[in-house]
Amino acid sequence: MELNADVRVVTAETSEEALKLARRHRKLNLVISDIVRPGMDGLAFLQAFKKERPTVPVMIISGAMNSKLRKRASRSGAASCYSKPILWKRLLGAVMRNLK
Residues 6+ apart with CB under 8 A from 67: none
Check if CATH label 3.40.50.2300 holds for domain 29-99. yes
pLDDT in tens, 5-39: 667 788 999 999 999 998 898 888 999 999 888 88
Cis peptide before 85 (omega within 30 of 0): yes
pLDDT in tens, 37-64: 888 899 999 999 999 999 999 999 999 8
Phi first, then psi, for residue 30 (nearest 5°) are: -165, 145
Which candidate, 35, 39, 41, places its Cα nearest to that of 62?
A: 35
Mode of pairing for the β-strands spanning 31-34 and 80-83: unpaired
Number of Cβ within a 10 Å radius of residue 56: 17
Sheet of strand 31-34: strand arrangement: 31-34, 58-62, 80-83
